[in-house]
Structure 1
Amino acid sequence: MYLGLLAALFLGLHNLAKKHAVQDNEVLPVLLGTLISGFLLFLPFFIGSKYSPEYFKEIGFHITTVPWKTHGYIFIKSIIMAASWILAYKALKHLPLTIVTPIRSAGPFFTFIGAMIIYQEQPKFLQWIGFFVIIFSVILYSRVGKKEGIIFTKNKWIFAIIGATFLGASSGLYDKFLIQNVSLNPQTLQFWFCWYTIIILMFILSIMWFPIAQKRKAFKFRWTIIAVGILLQTADYFYFKALQDPDALIMLLSAIKRSQLIIAVVVGGILFKEKNKRKKLVPLTGILIGVFLILYS
C-alpha cells in the first residue's frame, strides 16, 4: 500500500509536468521525448548489468537477460500503452487537466472487473462501496465539464480519454501477469518496454510527423518533457515493486494510485488557472473517500 501511495505521488507530479509539456505543442514528439528520457534513466543499469552483474544484483537494479518469448510479451504491452498514451496526450492537449484526470480515475473500475474475472480477486464489502463511490464521483465531474462547454457525448476528445483509460486499465492487468507469472523484475520490464515503445513511436512519427515541415516547426522542446519521463518511470518502479508481492491485489493498487488526484486537480487547477475549481472539489472528495474506503477495508 505504501509503495502504491509513492507511485501516486510521482504520478500526480507527472500529470502536472505532462500538461505543461503538451500545451500548445506537438503531442507525438513530446511523448517520444518522455520515453527517451525514461529509457536513458535505465540505460546505465542495463550497461552496468552487462559488465558488473553482481554489483547491480546487490543494489537491486540488475536488468536480467530475457528470452525472445518474453520480449514478445513486453512488445504487446508497448503496443497497448502506445495506443493509450497517444489517445491520452491528444485529449490532454484539448481538455482541461481537471476534466481529464478524473475520467482517468475510472481506470480502477475497469481493473476491478478484470481482476475479478481474470485473477479471481475477491473484493470486500467496503471495497465494493469504494469503487462505486469513485465511479459516481466521475459522473459528477461530467456535469461540471458541461459548464466549461464540454458536452461529454459530443466531444471526440472525451471518447479519446475514455479509450485511453480502458487501454491503460488493460495494461495494468497485464502488468500483474508480467511481474508475477513471467517473473520480470521492475527495471527489466521498464527498460525493454521503453525501448520497444520508442521503436513503435518512431515508426508512427516517420509517417505522421517527420515528413511534414509545418509540424516539425510547431514542436517546442521544454524541460518538462524530460521531467515527465523520469517521474513516470519512478512511479512505475514503485508500482511494479508493489506488484512483486504475491499477495498484492491489482484492484487495490489501481485504486490507491488514484490519490494522485489531490495533486493533479488542486495544484493543477491553480497552476493552469482552470475554471470551476471549487465545484470540482466536491467529486474530488468523493473519489478520495472511495480510495480511503478501499485502504481502510
Structure 2
Amino acid sequence: MNWILLSVVSAMLLGVYDAAKKWSVRSNAVPIVLLCCVSIGALLYLPLMIWSAMDADSIPWNSFVVRPLSWERHGLVLSKSLLVGASWTCAFTALKHLPLSIAAPIRATSPFWTILIAITFFDERPTPIQWLGIAIVLLGFWRFTLVGRREGIRFTRNRWVNLMVLATILGALSSIYDKWLLQDAGFDPVTMQAWFTVYLVPVMVPLAVWWYRFDSPRSVVMAQPPEIRSPPVEVANQTAGQVTGQMVDRSIDIQRFHWRWSIAVVSPLLIMADWFYFVALADPDAMVSVVSVLRRCSVVIALAFGAKALSESNFRAKLTCVGLILLGVVLLTWHG
C-alpha cells in the first residue's frame, strides 16, 4: 500500500480517536483517564507479545511478530514512551478545557514544527508544490486562531492553548524520533508499537498516584479539618464548593473520575491509527513532513463531531478553515 494512502487511513482513525478522547475527558479526572487508556492498549498487545515469545514461527504474518530487544533498544523505546507520555498529559489536560473544534486544529499544527525539525536534521526538501500545499494547510490553521477569538479564546493568553501548543511540539519531536527509530535504528513497526504501548503504563502511573493523593474526592476530604470531614462518596456527589451542606476549601480542585465506554475505544483506535502511520514511515520513500501533514487532517472529523455531538459554535467559519486544509492535502497527495 502506498505510504500516502497509509497516512490518509491513519488520519481517519485519528479523527475518531480525537472525538473519543474529548468525550472521555469531559468533566473527568485526566490522570485516571490516561492510565485507563494506556492500560487497555497494553492489554491488547500482551497476547501478541506472549505469542511471539513462545512460538513466533506460528504467527501467520511475519509483520505481526513482536521481536525481542536488547537493553539498549528497550531504552530507546522507553525514551519514546516518556516523550509521548508528556505530550499526551499536556494534550488531554488542555482538551478537557478547550472546545474540540479549537483544540484539534492547534494539535494539527504539528507539521509546522515537524517540517522545521525535518529540514534541519534530516535534510528533507519538499518540492515547490508540496511547499505550497503545506503553506495552505498552515494558513487554514492560522484562520482557526481568528475563529477562536470569537469564542473568547485568545491564543496568546490562554493557558490551555499554551499547554496544547507544548503538547504539539512534543508530538512533533516524537514524529522525528519515530522516523529515526524505524529507518535508522531498524525497528519494525509492530515491535516498536507493542513495547512503547506497554511502557506507557508505568510512565502514567505517577500522575495517577498524584491524583489519588491530592486531587481525588478522597484527598479533598482528608485535607479538611476533622470537624468538617465527610465520607468520600458524599464529596463525589457535590460540587467543588460544598460538601453535604458544609463548606470545603474552594482552592482545592475536586476531580472525580467517571467511567465512560469511550475510554475503552481510545487505545484500540490509536493502535490502529499508529500502525498505519508506522508502516507509512517505514517506507524509505516516505517524507516525515508530508506524512505528518496528512495525518493531522484528522481535524476534519474532529470538527464534525464537535459541531454535531457537542454543539460547538462557529461551524461555518471553521468549515472554511477545514476547506483550506483539504486543499493543501489535495496538493500534497496529487504530487505524491
TM-score (norm 1): 0.96
Distance in 2 of aligned mates of 1:150 and 1:234:
33
Is 1:123 aligned to residue 126 of structure 2? yes
Answer yes or no: is the 8 Å Cα contact 1:62–1:187 preserved in 2. yes
Is 1:221 aligned to residue 272 of structure 2? no
- The counterpart of 2:89, out of the listed 86, 91, 98, is 86
Structure 1 partner of 2:150: 147
Structure 2 partner of 1:9: 12
Q: What is the Cα deviation at residue 192 of structure 1?
A: 1.3
Distance in 2 of aligned mates of 1:101 and 1:205:
25
Structure 1 partner of 2:325: 287
Identical-residue share of aligned pairs (%):
37
Q: What is the Cα deviation at residue 59 of structure 1?
A: 4.9
Is 1:268 aligned to residue 306 of structure 2? yes
* Residue type of the alignment partner of 1:246: P
Q: What is the Cα deviation at residue 268 of structure 1?
A: 2.8
Is 1:194 aligned to residue 197 of structure 2? yes
Distance in 1 of aligned mates of 2:288 and 2:120:
12
| Structure whose alpha-carbon radius of gyration is higher | 2
Answer yes or no: is the 8 Å Cα contact 2:87–2:170 preserved in 1. yes
Structure 1 partner of 2:293: 255
- The counterpart of 2:40, out of the listed 27, 37, 40, is 37
User: SS of 2:68's equivalent?
Assistant: coil
TM-score (norm 2): 0.85
Is 1:211 aligned to residue 213 of structure 2? yes
Distance in 2 of aligned mates of 1:254 and 1:152:
23
Distance in 1 of aligned mates of 2:285 and 2:189:
17
- The counterpart of 1:112, out of the listed 112, 115, 120, is 115
Q: 4+ runs of 1 displaced by more than 3 Å?
A: none
Distance in 2 of aligned mates of 1:259 and 1:55:
38
Structure 1 partner of 2:249: none
* Residue type of the alignment partner of 2:25: V
Unaligned runs of 5+ in 2: 220-235, 237-255
Q: Which segment is superposed worse, 251-260 or 164-173? A: 251-260
Structure 1 partner of 2:251: none
User: SS of 1:91's equivalent?
Assistant: helix
Q: What is the Cα deviation at residue 93 of structure 1?
A: 0.4
Aligned length: 296
Q: CA RMSD in A?
A: 1.4
* Residue type of the alignment partner of 2:115: F
Q: Which segment is superposed worse, 166-175 or 110-119? A: 110-119
Distance in 1 of aligned mates of 2:319 and 2:57:
50
- The counterpart of 2:141, out of the listed 138, 142, 150, is 138
Answer yes or no: is the 8 Å Cα contact 2:63–2:190 preserved in 1. no
Distance in 2 of aligned mates of 1:267 and 1:292:
22
Q: What is the Cα deviation at residue 203 of structure 1?
A: 2.0
Q: What is the Cα deviation at residue 28 of structure 1?
A: 1.1
Q: What is the Cα deviation at residue 188 of structure 1?
A: 1.2
Distance in 1 of aligned mates of 2:135 and 2:61:
43
Q: What is the Cα deviation at residue 48 of structure 1?
A: 0.5
Q: What is the Cα deviation at residue 210 of structure 1?
A: 2.0
Q: What is the Cα deviation at residue 60 of structure 1?
A: 2.7
Distance in 1 of aligned mates of 2:278 and 2:146:
35
CA distances 1:69-122 after superposition (whole Å, capped 9, x unpaired): 111111111111111111111110000000011111111111111111111111
Distance in 1 of aligned mates of 2:308 and 2:62:
40
Q: What is the Cα deviation at residue 237 of structure 1?
A: 0.6
Q: What is the Cα deviation at residue 43 of structure 1?
A: 1.0
- The counterpart of 1:237, out of the listed 262, 271, 275, is 275
CA distances 1:113-161 after superposition (whole Å, capped 9, x unpaired): 1111111111000111111112221111111111111111211001000
Structure 2 partner of 1:65: 68
Answer yes or no: is the 8 Å Cα contact 1:209–1:215 preserved in 2. no
Distance in 2 of aligned mates of 1:171 and 1:10:
19
* Residue type of the alignment partner of 2:26: Q
Q: Which segment is superposed worse, 157-166 or 105-114? A: 105-114
Answer yes or no: is the 8 Å Cα contact 1:242–1:248 preserved in 2. yes
Unaligned runs of 5+ in 1: none
Answer yes or no: is the 8 Å Cα contact 2:99–2:306 preserved in 1. no
User: SS of 1:269's equivalent?
Assistant: helix
* Residue type of the alignment partner of 1:78: S
CA distances 1:17-71 after superposition (whole Å, capped 9, x unpaired): 1110000101111111111111111111101101121022635310000111111
